[in-house]
């Protein structure tokens, strides 16, 4: 499963490409795809797969 950070990087990359192109149609498609990915993340379709701290048991 893809993580939120990965999807966020993909959204940023799509938006960067959209800004760099001179083709308005391509730019619109890239922005639309970025919006779709962001909406999926906001809906919770992608889990946060960030590394979590392990549980630590203290010795008595």
Is the model's pLDDT at 56 over the cut of 80?
no
Per-residue pLDDT tens over the stretch 21-39: 999 999 999 999 999 998 8
Determine the Cα–Cα distance for residues 38 and 25; give it in Å rounded to an integer. Answer: 20
Of 52 and 59, the one with more pLDDT: 59
Helix axes 4-20, 24-43, angle to 10 degrees: 160
Predicted confidence at residue 23, as pLDDT, reads: 96
Per-chain mean pLDDT for the chain: 82
Q: What is the DSSP letter of 44?
A: T
Residue 51 pLDDT greater than 60, yes or no: no
Angle in degrees, CA 42, 11, 52, rounded to 5:
60
What does the pLDDT average to over 9-13?
94
Q: Is the pLDDT of residue 57 over 90?
A: no
């Amino acid at each position: 499963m893809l993580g939120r950070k990965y999807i966020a990087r993909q959204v940023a990359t799509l938006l960067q490409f959209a800004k760099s192109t001179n083709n308005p149609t391509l730019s619109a498609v890239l922005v639309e795809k970025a919006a779709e990915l962001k909406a999926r993340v906001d809906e919770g379709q992608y889990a946060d797969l960030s590394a979590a701290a392990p549980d630590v048991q203290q010795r008595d």
